[in-house]
Structure 1
């Protein structure tokens, strides 16, 4: 009987050890373009196609400046093609390219096409947008650069420009990656300062003479400057060889100019989202 127990114990130990070795090998074979959870890479470190498809659910502000919150399901994932240190991708309504340069520079350029209205009067169930009309979405060009302070991307600085016919948005801030994975999983925390020009500011928070007459809200014209200061937390993990879970939490505190707008019913914008996807 003791021999049987010993055999079973050795067999179980060998099985567990084998699974751990397989997990370690799987980790080694997956090498993301950069090891950041906020930059998805479904190619497994190899040239060619990478595909991830899934769904996320977000609990977020109903519109910019809203004190109302809502749940919203969204598709998740991307179609990617990797060629060395370059990835070309189609994600949601965005078509773009990102590339790694000198191991510490990540550059990204994309065109994001509008898939829905920027803001509708019906977005407020309390009727706080009545008389303001709908704000149309617009095609945006997004240019981004991240500079790592070391080759393992433990700390980095991010800068992003969003430009469209509605104006310009600029974001800048540092970040910190947690975990030692090289497959793009783990978690990270970023600090961001957001700037907008007057066109972009008035698209979301301005009220012209006609809107003022229709809504009864005070006419408001904003200058460009600081829009908000915020924190962004991201996590991403493989729960099996193909299934991945991810999530994000975002908090932005508006500047005093934005808070003075009658549209801004809250001093902040917040969002929490979780999801899962299958990596082919």
Structure 2
């Protein structure tokens, strides 16, 4: 073999190996969406992320009172191939890829419920505290391509206090496979009558105690919303994140005396140390 031909062949093979190694290095997250935290760095076994986030959000569903809240952030995760079991806050769950373009997720969480004291201005006086309860969350996402540039989302939240459903579509910016970058999503939300009245209904007893009109909502369309997520490594182990949420309520919810605003909005930022 001529020296020049051998050199070109060696360079070609090296390029293929480099591209393969680079692709493997980049494809670290099970699904490269910033909304799905993945601290495993592409490796099987345990992974930990611990940090804090600051949110500016409404005091309760439908409130026109806003305040800052500081919450812990991060998760404990265990990965095996394209499957992750995680514990994050008050949720224990699993997510995985049964196929390259399909993400399935199941989690059990805890709904703390609304408290009468959530309103500093006394708008909830006489309504009492809402019921706490366990919730089951089931989610399926379907990508339009293997790069997860565009995707569809379906989600069901079912628990002791009713059922909520979501249908959405999202878009991922950037080309990284480590779960960092930007992501936007739009969604339509539905609920049954139990879930609707959990947040916005007023029974006869509550009406008598609060002076608000008795309100009984039926199930159906709840809201349309927008969600933005950002996640980025600023050092080898330090990650920053940000989120913005906007939800515009249906006319039925807007007519409830509890809904003092036609929408709900939330913004948050924070950091996480990945061990």
Is TM-score (shorter-chain normalized) higher than 0.5?
Answer: yes
- Given the alignment of the two structures, is residue 109 of structure 1 paired with residue 106 of structure 2, yes or no? yes
Q: In the aligned structure 1, how far is the partner of 2:121 from the partner of 2:29? A: 45
Please give the alpha-carbon distance, in whole angstroms, between the structure 2 residues aligned to 1:278 and 1:70: 26
Aligned to 1:155: 150
Partner of 1:217: 212
* Aligned twin of 1:242: 237
For residue 267 of structure 2, what is the aligned residue in structure 1? 272
**Helix, strand or coil at the partner of 2:133:** coil
SS state at 1:113 partner:
strand
| 4+ residue segments displaced more than 6 Å | 24-27
The alignment yields a C-alpha RMSD, in angstroms, of 1.6
How many residues matched? 256
**Counterpart position of 1:5:** none
2:94 is matched with which residue? 97
Distance 1:247 1:122 in 2: 28
Structure 2 residue corresponding to 1:227, chosen from 222, 245, 248: 222
* Counterparts of 1:270 and 1:29, CA distance in 2: 34
**Partner residue, 2:70:** 73
Provide the residue aligned with 1:139 in structure 2: 134
The alpha carbon displacement at 1:30 in A equals 6.0
Alpha-carbon distance, 1:122 to partner: 1.0
1:128 to partner: Cα distance:
0.5
Of residues 244, 248, 255, the one that matches 1:253 is 248
- Consecutive unaligned residues of structure 2, counting only runs of 5 or more, are 1-20
Q: What SS is found at the alignment partner of 2:267?
A: strand
Q: Which runs of 5+ in 1 are unaligned?
A: 1-23
Shift of 1:136: 2.2
The CA distance in 2 between the partners of 1:26 and 1:148, in whole Å, is: 19
Please tell me whether residue 82 in structure 1 is matched to residue 79 in structure 2.
yes
Instruction: Tell me which residue corresponds to 1:46.
Output: 43
The 2-side partners of 1:200 and 1:188 are apart by 28
- Give the corresponding residue for 1:203: 198
Normalised to the residue count of structure 1, the TM-score between the two structures is 0.89
Contact kept, 8 Å, 1:66 with 1:265, in 2: the verdict is yes
Taking structure 2 as the reference length, what is the TM-score of the superposition?
Answer: 0.90
After TM superposition, list the pairs within 5 Å mapping 1:185-204 onto structure 2.
185-204=180-199
* 2:27/2:176 contact within 8 Å kept: no
Per the alignment, residue 58 of structure 1 pairs with: 55
> Secondary structure of 2:194's match?
helix
Show the counterpart of 2:9.
Answer: none
